[in-house]
Structure 1
Amino acid sequence: MRAVVYEEFGRLPEVRVVPDPVPAPRGAVIRVAATGLCRSDWHGWLGHDADVRLPHVPGHELAGTVAAVGERVRGAWLGERVTVPFVCACGGCAACAAGAQQVCRRQTQPGFTHWGSFAEYVMIENADVNLVRIPDDLSFATAASLGCRFATAFRAVVAQGGVRPGEWVAVHGCGGVGLSAIMIAVACGARVVAVDVAPPALAMAGKLGAAVTIDGSTGDVAERITESTRGGAHLSVDALGSPATCAASINCLRWHGRHVQIGLLPTDPELPMARVIARELTVAGSHGMAAHAYPPMLDMINAGALRPDLLVTATIGLDDVPNALAAMGSGSPTGVTIIEPHAGDAPLTGCH
């Protein structure tokens, strides 16, 4: 198969022909119809993730058709249209038993712990636990965007953040996950303040329903959010992942506010803990969403309350990925970029 491969951190990847994957006994091989280009892939390429071993194929947001399954897979998955969470759970540890597969102690992550989806095929562990069937009328491109950014934002805003109608929600960073968080918060009846340094990102945030947009490159962001919301946000999400955005997210909260960290941070920052204590703030993380938790999100998509398809702003092929990945160092593109590994190929005619 063709795949995007890098052999050194920070060195431009190449598109190569590499061996086809085979399913693990409880795993499945998916013919990748679409996969998202995410800032997390950029972090992995730079060596910020200790799980990545070289040479490596990145990619963790994906959707496609199950092409092969292992001999110990119980479900009738062959030929099914599926997506997967970026955290693939083992299904047998204490966290999984408690329903918290997103923090599985033996988790695997395509594109990090093993070769990922910037390829024509990808192998996923523990198929019965991690595969999510997608409706026939949901495009592969839209489904691919759910596995990391959209699902992570959904759990961050709804479950971890506990958003309520009428609340003010601040979203710091309007990349794919930030725009997803804005759409979800608005659909839940909240009022959103969107923060970014890029005018196109802020313009898209406004189109998705943000009531206030703030240029984060000028002035005190936390103070401006406090003024705009007349007292501070009830819920604030750092969807970028930098010391500045993390601190601003906490500092913009009103008393008893909630901060949720989505964006990955290269290093652990100093936090304004005196404020956390004085205002009795809640600080939480959000690490994806388990496969079993997808139905409420899919129901809202099916009802038209959520439109993740509106976030897809570009579609590229495998040959475009190396330069697109490197370009993320200068800032994430507006919206979600989808990669189609089989663009121009003939339809799938049999199992792989």
Structure 2
Amino acid sequence: MKSILVEAPRRMSIVDLPIPDPTPGEVRIRVRHAGICGSDLHIFHGNHPYVQFPRVIGHEFAGHIDAVGDGVDPALEGTRVAVNPVVNCGQCYPCRAGRPNVCLNLQVVGVHREGGFAEYCCVPAQCAVPVPDEVDDRAAATVEPFSIAANMLSRTEVMAEDTALVYGAGPIGMTVIQALSGVHGLDRLIVADRIDSRLDWARTSGASIVVNTTRQSLAGTLAEAGLSPSLIIDAACHPSIVEEALDLASPAARIGLMGFSSEASAIPQRKLNAKELTLYASRLNNRKFPEVIGWMSHKQIEPERFISHSFPATAVHEAFALLEGHPIACCKVLLDFN
């Protein structure tokens, strides 16, 4: 089978590997489309702490079940599915507490185990989530990034009376913006970014106010509009954002952190306590695939607007070069294994 293998940092090849057989409890996916994530770029550059090389990467993918292992219903063969890459042990405290996405023995498909940048991939049967006919194959490959937004907004909760501020209108910010507007129907949605084209997209996706922070004061804009955000989502991941968010937040606000920056933020406890603010972190997704597939089925989000480019899988090097060299021109780049 055609597979995209990262053999070592900055060494990625298209190779032929044996088609895997599903073990007991697994299904084999015939992959149709797979999305390239920023973490795939980190793996390629050797900057991902959990990857051992060589590795077939890819954790955003969809296709259909073409074989099942022992203990799995054979009737599932042929089912169109999106693959949830979170594999948990089911035994540790986070799993027992209903938080399998932070399992102590967590494995992520395409990171800890072979991923979906291949014509075939085997995963635990529970990771293969059925996709209805009204969700097309390309949209199915974007369920995973939208599940990141679903998890964050589940953690923070969203209320009809919220005034929401989203930092960052890159790919992850875009999923949050679509969800806040299309799913939750917020009409007070502020988006801050440094790139006009992304802000233009945010405005057409439901943002009521957009702020280019290279030439506008976010605090000044909010003050002029008489708005104090009760929900703030940091989808840009810069340490200074958390510090600013404490100042801009309404009392009793919730602040969601989506990034993995290792840099420290200076957060005065007094500001947290004075406003009784709540900080939420979020990792991967906690069984959010059915919810996101429901959003797609009911046309509450527009995955087709999230997909900016498609390449045949054999052009993976060109796809990576585009993402790295022209990130502003890209949102979600898909690889096609048809």
TM-score (norm 2): 0.89
Q: Which has the higher contact order (CA 8 A, sep 6+)?
A: 1
Q: Secondary structure at the match of 2:301?
A: coil
Matched residue, 1:316? 311
Per-residue CA distance 1:60-107 (angstroms, 9 max, x = gap): 111101122221335742221111223223344443344323223332
Matched residue, 1:279? 275
- Please state if 1:5 is matched with 2:1: no
Verify the 8 A CA contact 1:15 1:319 in the aligned structure 2. yes
Matched residue, 1:55? 54
Structure 2, unpaired ranges of 5+: none
AA matched with 1:5: L
Verify the 8 A CA contact 1:4 1:322 in the aligned structure 2. no
Change in Cα spacing, 1:36 to 1:332, as seen in structure 2 (3 Å) is: farther
Per-residue CA distance 1:297-322 (angstroms, 9 max, x = gap): 33333222222232122211213322
Q: How far apart, CA to CA, are the structure 1 residues paired with 2:45 and 2:246?
A: 28
Q: How far apart, CA to CA, are the structure 2 residues paired with 1:264 and 1:48?
A: 13
Matches within 5 A, 1:69-84: 69-74=68-73, 76-84=75-83
Q: Secondary structure at the match of 2:22?
A: coil
Q: How far apart, CA to CA, are the structure 1 residues paired with 2:214 and 2:246?
A: 18
User: Out of 219, 222, 235, which is 1:239 matched to?
Assistant: 235
Q: Alpha-carbon deviation of 1:17?
A: 1.9
Q: How far apart, CA to CA, are the structure 2 residues paired with 1:192 and 1:237?
A: 11
- Please state if 1:138 is matched with 2:116: no
Q: Give aligned pairs, total.
A: 334
Matched residue, 2:334? 338
Matched residue, 2:88? 89
Verify the 8 A CA contact 1:34 1:340 in the aligned structure 2. yes
Matched residue, 2:300? 305
User: Out of 168, 184, 188, which is 1:173 matched to?
Assistant: 168
TM-score (norm 1): 0.86
Matched residue, 2:178? 183
Q: Alpha-carbon deviation of 1:109?
A: 0.8
User: Out of 284, 287, 305, which is 1:288 matched to?
Assistant: 284
Structure 1, unpaired ranges of 5+: 343-352
Q: How far apart, CA to CA, are the structure 2 residues paired with 1:43 and 1:236?
A: 27
After superposition, the CA RMSD in angstroms is 2.4
Change in Cα spacing, 1:228 to 1:208, as seen in structure 2 (3 Å) is: farther
Q: Alpha-carbon deviation of 1:185?
A: 0.7
Q: How far apart, CA to CA, are the structure 2 residues paired with 1:78 and 1:250?
A: 51
Verify the 8 A CA contact 2:143 2:292 in the aligned structure 1. no
